[in-house]
Amino acid sequence: MLVAVKIGNSTISIALFDDPLSDRFSSIMTFDIKKESEMENKIKKFFSKIKKESDTVICSVVPDLTEKILKLLKSKKNIVINYKTETGLGLKLKNPQKFGADRLATSVGAYNLFKENIAVVDFGTATTITVVTKKAEIIGGAIMPGINMMRESLTEKTAMLPYVDLNKKISALGNETHSAIRSGITLGTVCAVEGIIDKIEKEESLKLKTVLTGGWSEFLSIYFNKKINLKPYLVFEGMRLIYLKNINS
């Protein structure tokens, strides 16, 4: 049994693989990290239900929380993913030590699915684009605010702009404040991602397969003009594969 723990800037998500050799996880739970005591209780309750001995693979972008979560785990073996972890991908970057473990895990998942030149777009707290080549190399990408961060920033940093519900019909031409914000945040994000991918393709002379993942990926996928591959839980597939590469090391 394998427990995959993803520690993000907004949430902690846990997926349970009954068989680490299978890409199917049996359950997933997500906790809001803003309520730390509640989060700890939920995590303890989650692990108390696991009857079999398990190993754990952790993907974290919040170092302080990593230590706290490790203390809550009751696993035979813990693997914490970082830039030194054996993944099967090369990091052709200026500062590989600063490359996010979440981007690394999703890149592993995407490469093993397609083995082509890929733009992995992760819609989470931040929106990230990571380029993986068919030579199994991560060569760079782009980072921009996520759509919820944009929404909160508009409300917090302005006197009169409201917090809007994004789950409504969105058109490019907003005819009042709420619809204009929905257009700017949602379509602005999609157009930015598609435009950046187009520029990367021209700069690097690559044709990239576009893979969408992350919490907002399904919501945003319907607005893309590009052909896309939707894989919302790609990070867990990458974590599982990284675990299998490192379990005997």
Domains and CATH numbers, the chain: 2-80 (3.30.420.40), 90-238 (3.30.420.40)
Predicted pLDDT of residue 46: 76
pLDDT above 80: residue 227: yes
Predicted pLDDT of residue 32: 77
Task: Kindly indicate the confidence band of residue 9, based on its pLDDT and cuts at 50, 70 and 90.
Answer: confident
Predicted pLDDT of residue 249: 66
The per-residue pLDDT for range 135-174, each reduced to its tens digit, is: 999 999 999 999 999 999 999 999 999 999 998 889 999 9
Cβ 59 vs Cβ 102: under 8 Å = yes
Cα–Cα distance, 178 to 6 (Å, whole number): 33
Place of tokens 């809007």: 164
The per-residue pLDDT for range 175-215, each reduced to its tens digit, is: 999 999 999 999 999 999 999 999 999 999 999 999 999 99
The per-residue pLDDT for range 104-137, each reduced to its tens digit, is: 999 999 999 999 999 999 999 999 999 999 999 9
Predicted pLDDT of residue 51: 65
Cα–Cα distance, 90 to 247 (Å, whole number): 19
Of these residues, 23, 102, 122, 165, which one is catalytic?
A: 102
Is the pTM higher than 0.75? Answer: yes
Per-residue b or e along 67-89, where b marks 16 or more CB atoms closer than 10 Å to that residue's CB:
eebeeeeebeeebbbeeebebeb
pLDDT above 90: residue 11: no
Task: Kindly indicate the confidence band of residue 75, based on its pLDDT and cuts at 50, 70 and 90.
Answer: confident
The whole-chain average pLDDT of the chain stands at 92
Is there a catalytic annotation at residue 102?
A: yes
Predicted pLDDT of residue 247: 87
Q: What is the mean pLDDT of residues 65-78?
A: 82
